[in-house]
Structure 1
Amino acid sequence: MKSFATADFWQAYAELSPDMKIQARKAYKLWKEDSLHPSLHFKKVGKKLWSARVSGAYRALA
């Protein structure tokens, strides 16, 4: 699966706390290594929308 970041993503990422940025980077690294890792809860949530867990309160959408 290919991934890329949009300008909207970088704007939202810039607003995250330093700790959440670290968690987001870790989740992305894990997703690249194993997109089906159970801790990510990677799933389809719309016709063309996917969700992955970054933390208990944050999700990444693609």
Structure 2
Amino acid sequence: MAYFINEDCINCGACESECPVTCITEGDSKYVIDAAECIDCGACADVCPVNAPNPAE
């Protein structure tokens, strides 16, 4: 199961540098996680100030 970034994202970029597999990139209005590359480690969620990354259901 991969993480995804919800609409609460404020484009701060804190998550991008924490990802050990570099699957987070800056999108048009928010950061985006490549689900095929995500290893479900939760590092992005641990550093996000607005709790935007969440596990996919």
TM-score, normalised by the number of residues in structure 2: 0.31
Higher helix share: 1
Max radius of gyration: which structure?
1
TM-score, normalised by the number of residues in structure 1: 0.30
